[in-house]
Structure 1
Amino acid sequence: MLAPVLIFVYARPEHTRKTIESLASNCLASATDVFIFSDAPKNDKANEKVMLVRDYIDTLSDKKMFRSVKIIKSEFNKGLANSVISGVNEIIKLNRQVIVLEDDLVTSPDFLSYMNDALNFYETDKKIWSISGYTFDLDFPDNYKSEVYLSYRGSSWGWATWKDRWDSVDWQVSDYMIFKKEKSLRDKFNRGGRDMSAMLDAQMDGKIDSWAIRWCYSQFKSDMFTVYPKVSRVKNIGLDGSGTHSGISSRYDTSLNTSTKKCEFDHPELNDIIIRSFKNKFGTRFEYFVIWNKKIIKKMLRI
């Protein structure tokens, strides 16, 4: 049985179309159940584009792209974090594993086979928290032979996990006050990127609304890893200023896998060179707050 795919959409009709059509080009698409969660508009400005997205996804059942398509339309605006948490909660109750996409992710033709094979291979490995379909273009050591690598940090750009991992997350981050004051814990959390502790601070201060940083924090608390491919199966097309939570950037551009060869999974050791290269893709705490403050200023100028 293949893992169901959950797709979270909002107000980007063209991005949504590209996301769904690329997924439909996968060889396992016709055997895959797809659940599309459509959030309601946050304001009148978003209403037209949300309706365009909904008009498009309403046509999918007749197109027979997938084994089945179920569309869940929210009657009120939940925001991305609550949409993802509640949506995954709903579907994972009946499935031991899920694959998750958002509306700005183009996938390679082998994305579904890569994700399903990885889910099956690592399910009983209790050191693995999640599977990522996305990866940066990294420079790997010449002697590194595995087709995947491990990281301390999960990815929200095309990912998969299992029910037992998902159910263990403390979405309230009930021990945050201890973490906030403990430098050794903050430094350890930042092994996945120098921005991580600052992002959790911003989440708990109500400055951002992120499911992903809380997901990563629970991964850190569990001392587990995310499996990444050496060659990406996902490309983010949403860093063009069109998204609610993203600006304009080419920093995370990556090469999409074109090989027809199936990925061979193994149990690689954590590699310090790769971890350092991965970590360097993220900004510092200072950079994070500079970017955040710029966004706040821009929002204030639009009021």
Structure 2
Amino acid sequence: MKTPLLFITFNRPDTTAKVFEKIKNLKPKKLFISSDGPRNYVEGEFEKVMTCREMFKKENIDWDCEVKRLYYDENKGCALAVSDSITKSFELVDELIILEDDVIPHPSFFTFCSKMLNQYRDNHKVMHISGTRWNPEFEVGKGDHFFSLIGHIWGWATWKRAWKKYDYDLKDLPQFEKDKSLQKLYQSKSISKFWLKNFHSVNMPNKKTWDYQWQFSIFFNEGLAVVPAVNLTSNIGTQGVHYQGEATEHHFQETFSWEEQPDIFVNIKVNMEYEKYHMRKRFMKKPPLSKRIRDKVRRTIARP
């Protein structure tokens, strides 16, 4: 595969090894490997981070491959480590496929991303390519892909020209909220309220995440995400920095082979019925109270 790949890792040797095995089978020509530094106050984390980095020694990448290792000596945290590694990678290339250490891709995920990166390279309205296809019970056209307002980040791809619009500090959020842009977009007060609440929750000096800012950037720039007709990635990470608990309906999703259908025209237009359905089924649906309590207790115990 000629498309550059960024592999983002941290402190999970078990899931990292499974994802790296998929990458080794792929044999990309250009590979960026990001590794955040260990937190000094977390017992055993230094060893876990080093175990992950051991996997990426020269002798373990035994194919024709240009490798760039982005290793941080000190812990930057998920928000900065991920966003900074993407920014640094885009200093060297114009497009990227991005995988984190808990996302298992179907082999055809890479084919899909590469083809979509090429197909929509010059269409600046398209900002994101997702590997995730949720809610397959809702059919959206007959083609091999469609368009959404939401950019899922469990295996994804984008271009340098889109990442330049990334608003890490959410500096445009006040104007965005004042203009009621989301309410106009979705024609739904509840969906608008959901997103704004989440954007405000991450808009703090010591940010804990990076992905809400990316979704905001897509919204603010009226961008679109390409979505495959079938699901191409599966998240296997239930023990991480932001989530520690039982597997949810979002985890361990079945993946399928993506088949190109070049003879079917795909309109660059969003199906708003699907968007609202998708929001309410996958984002705004609350788990049972007992599960929410258990997960909150686990997060409290795990918090340093």
Normalising to structure 2: TM-score of the pair? 0.84
Of 177, 183, 187 in structure 2, the residue corresponding to residue 187 of structure 1 is 183
> Percent identity, aligned pairs only?
24
Question: Offset of 1:193 from its aligned partner?
Answer: 8.1
Matched with 1:166 is 163
Shift of the 144–171 alpha-carbon distance from structure 1 to 2, 3 Å rule, reads: same
Question: Offset of 1:206 from its aligned partner?
Answer: 5.5
Alignment check: 8 A CA contact 2:124 2:162 kept: no
| Structure 1 unaligned blocks of 5 or more | none
Alignment check: 8 A CA contact 1:193 1:283 kept: no
Alignment check: 8 A CA contact 2:182 2:192 kept: no
Matched with 1:35 is 32
For 1:129-144, list aligned pairs within 5 A.
Answer: 129-141=127-139, 144=141
Secondary structure of the corresponding residue to residue 273 of structure 1: helix
Letter in 2 for 1:24: K
CA distance in 1, matches of 2:271, 2:77: 36
| Structure 2 unaligned blocks of 5 or more | none
Matched with 1:226 is 225
CA distance in 2, matches of 1:5, 1:195: 32
Matched with 1:236 is 235
Matched with 1:176 is 173
For residues 100-149 of structure 1, the C-alpha deviation after alignment (integer angstroms, 9 at most, x for no partner) is 111001111122221111100011122211111122142133x8211112
Q: Does 1:55 align with 2:54?
A: yes
Shift of the 130–266 alpha-carbon distance from structure 1 to 2, 3 Å rule, reads: farther
CA distance in 1, matches of 2:282, 2:110: 27
CA distance in 1, matches of 2:73, 2:153: 25
Matched with 1:114 is 112
Q: Does 1:8 align with 2:3?
A: no
Secondary structure of the corresponding residue to residue 40 of structure 1: coil
Secondary structure of the corresponding residue to residue 25 of structure 1: helix
Letter in 1 for 2:165: S
Matched with 1:75 is 73
For residues 48-67 of structure 1, the C-alpha deviation after alignment (integer angstroms, 9 at most, x for no partner) is 21122122222x54442562
CA distance in 2, matches of 1:194, 1:25: 43
Bigger Cα displacement from structure 2, 158-167 vs 130-139? 130-139
Letter in 2 for 1:187: Q
Secondary structure of the corresponding residue to residue 180 of structure 2: helix
For residues 142-166 of structure 1, the C-alpha deviation after alignment (integer angstroms, 9 at most, x for no partner) is x821111211111111111111111
CA distance in 1, matches of 2:35, 2:150: 27
Secondary structure of the corresponding residue to residue 123 of structure 2: coil
Question: Offset of 1:293 from its aligned partner?
Answer: 9.2
CA distance in 1, matches of 2:88, 2:37: 18
Letter in 2 for 1:232: N
Shift of the 199–61 alpha-carbon distance from structure 1 to 2, 3 Å rule, reads: farther
CA distance in 1, matches of 2:147, 2:120: 12
Alignment check: 8 A CA contact 2:135 2:278 kept: no
Say how many residue pairs are matched.
Answer: 292
Shift of the 273–162 alpha-carbon distance from structure 1 to 2, 3 Å rule, reads: same
CA distance in 2, matches of 1:186, 1:271: 16
Normalising to structure 1: TM-score of the pair? 0.84
Shift of the 123–169 alpha-carbon distance from structure 1 to 2, 3 Å rule, reads: same
Shift of the 61–86 alpha-carbon distance from structure 1 to 2, 3 Å rule, reads: farther
Alignment check: 8 A CA contact 2:183 2:192 kept: no
CA distance in 2, matches of 1:86, 1:292: 32
Alignment check: 8 A CA contact 2:5 2:97 kept: yes
Question: Offset of 1:68 from its aligned partner?
Answer: 3.0
